[in-house]
Amino acid sequence: MRRRSGWSQRVVLGAAIATLGIATLGGCDPQDDDARDGDAAVPDARVTTHPVRSATPTREGLAYIEGVARIHGEADLADDIDTRAAALRRGLALPVPAELAEAEILRLELATRLGETLAPRAEGVAVALDLLEPMLDPERSLPLDRASARALVTLGDLATSAGDDALAVGSYARAIRVMSSLRKELER
């Protein structure tokens, strides 16, 4: 019994080790490794766009647009990066009125300008990437507008500064695809 029990224990232990090993190997998706390793990552050039809808003007919508314009004016007058960045952050914090389709573009423009403002600072690149990357996630549909293309180019520039070639190339390729769609719309 003792002997059998010893074998059983070994078999159980062996099976456990094997299962753990397979589970561990199975969890090691090469793509996961690539995503962590900047150099080996595959550029993600997926882009989905939607047409820009023009909303019926409302008092709240107009106030929001005027607020964003005022913020850009303040940013224009700012003497230093911090003041400009603070103004643009205030713009991004403005509550967006419901049903204002243009707000998507206005927010992209604010974020892009904030990213460009922060880019000259070494620590600013990471902050700007954290801001722009989720807004421009390949899973998200972007408005078919130059603002999307410009934001993607800025993301590409930031990624280049951060040494993330895959993100940079993917963003540039997506920017080109957006601009190409705009071009085809014009040529129709």
Partner 1 sequence: MTATRLTRGPRLVRALVCAVLGMACGPQAGSGTVSPTTGDPVGAGPDPQGATEGEGMAELSGRLDALVGRERNLRPAAAADAGKCEELCELATSICSVQEKLCDLADDHPDDGAYQGLCREARNECREAQEGCVHCVEANSNQTLPR
Minimal distance in Å, beta carbon 87 to partner 1?
A: 27
Residue 137 neighbours by CB under 8 Å, 6+ apart = none
Shorter beta-carbon distance to partner 1: residue 48 or 180: 180
Name the site residues for partner 1 (rule: CB under 8 A): 42-43, 45, 149, 153, 156-157, 160, 165, 168-170, 172-173, 175-177, 179-180, 182-183, 186-187
Minimal distance in Å, beta carbon 51 to partner 1?
A: 17
Helices (H) and strands (E) in the chain, counts: 8, 2
Q: Which amino acid is at 166?
A: A
Residues 104 and 136 sit within 8 Å (Cβ to Cβ): no
Shorter beta-carbon distance to partner 1: residue 45 or 96: 45
How far apart are the C-alpha atoms of 96 and 69, rounded to whole Å?
14
Minimal distance in Å, beta carbon 166 to partner 1?
A: 8
Residue 3, classed as helix, strand or coil, is helix
Shorter beta-carbon distance to partner 1: residue 91 or 170: 170
